[in-house]
Each structure stands twice: as C-alpha cells, then as structure tokens.
Amino acid sequence: MLTRRQEILDVALALADEGGLDAVTMRAIGKRLGVTAMALYPYVASKDDLLDGLVGRLLQEIALPEAAWPWEKRLRAIAHAVRGTARMHPAVMPLLFTRPAITPDALRVLDAIYAALLDAGVPPKEVPRVERMISTVVLGFAASEVSGRFSIGSLMPRERRAQLPDAELPAHAALAAALDTPVDWDGEFDTDLDDLVAFISALAHRGC
Amino acid sequence: MLTRRQEILDVALALADEGGLDAVTMRAIGKRLGVTAMALYPYVASKDDLLDGLVGRLLQEIALPEAAWPWEKRLRAIAHAVRGTARMHPAVMPLLFTRPAITPDALRVLDAIYAALLDAGVPPKEVPRVERMISTVVLGFAASEVSGRFSIGSLMPRERRAQLPDAELPAHAALAAALDTPVDWDGEFDTDLDDLVAFISALAHRGC
DNA sequence: ACCTGAACACCGTTCAAGT
DNA sequence: ACCTGAACACCGTTCAAGT
C-alpha cells in the first residue's frame, strides 16, 4: 500500500540525492508529482514535518540482520547497513543529528541493537547507554565520512602547517609520517567495529 | 584586532543562539550591524562561506587545557569544553557534521588531541584513527544531546510500544525497567569518557 | 574602498476559490 | 475531498549607482 505521504518522501529523498538538501523544495516535490506545492499540505504538515519524514524514510532503508546470527555479526551488519545508506544519501545524514527519529522504523533498528547487546551479555542497566555510544560512533563515522568532516585528516601536513606556524602544531609535526599515509576508510570502519565489539565483550564479562 | 569578518560571525552566532539556524540571514546580520545585506559580501563570499565561518567561530570557543596536565585530564577537559559549547550554541552543532573545519582554531584543537594521544603512548600510526573515533564520540554525544536525538531513549516505554505491536519490540519489553529510569546525562558523559580513557590506555599497552 | 537600492529568481505558507 | 492560483512576507545574490 503506497500512501501519498510515502510518494512525497520518496521524491524528497530522490531530490536530496540529486541536488542536496537545498533542492528539497515543496514546489520541486510538487512539480515531480505533477501537482502544485500546496497540494502536499494535507499529507505533510510543514517543511519541518517533511524533513522529519525524510529522516524516517532514511531509517526505513536500513535492512535488519537475521535474528539467528550471533550478536557480533548482527551488530556489524547493522553498522555496515548504516554506512551503506549514508553513502547512498549523503545529503540527508546530517539531519540525523538535527531531530529525533521516533518512527516505527527507527524503533525497529533500535530494538535490534538492544537485542544484540542483551545477547552479548551486557547488563540490562547498561544497555541503553551502550546503545547510545555505539550508535553515535557508527552514525558519526558514516556522517563524517560523507560530509567531509574527516577530510581534514587527509589533507597533506604541508597544507595544514601552512595555516599556522610550525611551533603551534607540534603534534602534527611529530605525526608527519602517519598523516602522510592515505587512509583506508573501509579498513578503519572495520577496525572501529572490532574495537566496539571488544568493548562490548569486556562490559559483558565485567557484569558477570 | 577585531576584523569585520569576526564581527559578522559574532552576530551570526548570536542570531543562531537566539532563533536557530533559520534566523541566520544575510539581511538580519546586516540589520544588526546597521548595514544592508550586500555590505557583507566583501567579507563573506556567500551564505555557505558564512556557515563555514560559523563552524570555525564555534571551535574558537573551546579553550585548550594546560599542556602540563596529564593526558587523561587534558582529554577530559577538551571533551567537557566541547559539550559546554554545544550547550551554549545548540543550533550550530549539526553544522559540524555538514562541512569540514580547517580553520586555524580547528587545527589547534586537533593538535591538542593528537598530543594527548601521543603522551598516552598510543602508537603514532594509530593516533589519527583514534582521534577520529574519540572526536566522533564526543562531538556526536554533544550534538545528539542538544538536538534531541537521544530523547528517543528517554521516552516512556509505554509511548514507544504504542507505535508498534509489542511482539515487534521484544528487546524494549525486556529492558522496560532500565528504560524507565531517567538518564543522568552528566554521569553518562563521564562514564563514556572513562571508557574512552580505558580504551586509549589499552591501545597504548598493546603497542608496547 | 565601501556601501546602497532596486531588481531577479526563488522560498514556505495562507487563503479563497474551484471541481 | 482534493487541488489550484494568486498573494504575502520572506530568501540569497546581481548589478549599476552613489560617496
């Protein structure tokens, strides 16, 4: 069953993918649906409501892993799904840090992470905090990667030092070699996930 | 020396604090400076450049810790400074995940984190990755807290389950007790920092 | 060198009017 | 019930003109 709201959000996502968030306009959405901008208002309360819906639409895209898999594999699968949708829809990612996502789909993902942490043996009292932390890492990594926040790390040390006198960036100087080697983002993401899994395991054992 | 650009960015930040990002308008900035919107263009190339500058202006606000302090204390101080500015300027935080910050002030903060990680004994090869991870946690926590992303975790389980049939949120049901206790955000932030410090120490010892 | 004022091509949103 | 079209109060940005 394809509701009119769904159609609108699909078009909004497509416009965001093609031309960034600025291209998501009531008028542009209407035009693509063959309708005026005001015809959208019965299904979308305001532009803000539209963007809320867009975040929900994004979460809808991330597929959940098989419940039978071990918790580690499930967690890694969710993380990779998040990074995948971030790469498909980079313009929408920053909105995740702008408004809370409380759609059914958001809760579905949240519940899957809770379940994985419980299966890992994390004490129930700690689960909500740990979920917030690992979600922040995964969402933050995915958003930073596509937004260019991490690109500061891939600038050549030479360019960076040009901005400030050498003496003011001593650690950059000490790290020149490390900063010169190009970053393997796929590898870094997996390494981060390894560390998160190890962290979760440690929490579980501490709790026993 | 107070340049005209600085004045403009100060006004932009004030407007964002008062009325959100939507209130940051070329015309509004001009008005507050007693000038037309077009008078800003010699100092600000475009609205986008203005927002870049606003991110830089935000980073400018975070004070660096004394270099003589132990690395742990320095890292915690930076993290608390970030959270503090997030609370002072919540509207601007999401911009950090929208564009890279390569101003001198951003590099100053980055260098301080690099220095702390080096002093902790993290192998130089690992420092850039670890910096990206802990910065993501701290920035992500601060942004999520002020943006309301974390508010999903503080909704009553009852309200959440109303959105989906109980059987579809099994982990929520199992966590009902934990989800019902209100969250101490100050405490959670400190606990996260404890975990980060422990993680860094482990990396340092693994490297020896 | 620095600023103005009119103008252009847009926005989101309202409201009365149509079918 | 659903959509239109004109209108309102805004945007960012251009450009010629002023001093």
* pLDDT band of A43, cuts 50, 70, 90: very high
d(CA A85, CA A194): 21
- Give B167's pLDDT tier (boundaries 50, 70, 90): confident
Return the closest-CA partner of residue A97 out of A144, A130, A44: A144
What is the rounded average pLDDT for all residues in chain A? 92
> What is the mean pLDDT of the segment spanning B68-88?
98
Residue B33 CB closer than 7 angstroms to strand C? no
- Is A99 in contact with B149 (Cβ distance < 8 A)? yes
pLDDT at site A104: 87
CA distance B12 to A65: 45
Q: How far apart are CA B133 and CA A6, in angstroms?
A: 35
- What percent helix, strand, coil does chain B show, rounded to 5? 75, 0, 25
Handedness of CA B138, B140, B146, B151 (dihedral sign): negative
pLDDT digits (tens, 9 = 90+) for A144-180: 999 989 987 656 566 666 666 767 889 998 998 898 8
Are B199 and A197 a contacting pair, CB within 8 Å? no
pLDDT category at A199 given cuts 50, 70, 90 is very high
Reduced to 3 states, what is the DSSP secondary structure of residue A88?
helix
Cα A38–A40–A44 angle (5° rounding)?
Answer: 120
For B73, the token pair is 């204390």
Look at A108 and B140 and tell me if their CB atoms are within 8 Å.
no
Contacts of A196 (CB under 8 A, 6+ apart): A75, A134, A137
Least CB–CB distance from A129: residue in B107, B172, B188: B188
Contacts of B131 in chain A (CB under 8 A): 153
Listed range (A30-39, A68-77, A150-159) with the worst mean pLDDT: A150-159
| A82 vs A112: CA distance, rounded Å | 13
- How many secondary structure helices (H) and strands (E) does chain B include? 11, 0
A21 touches chain B (CB under 8 A): no
Query: Looking at residue B155, what is its pLDDT?
Result: 62
pLDDT bin (cut points 50, 70, 90) of residue A201 is very high
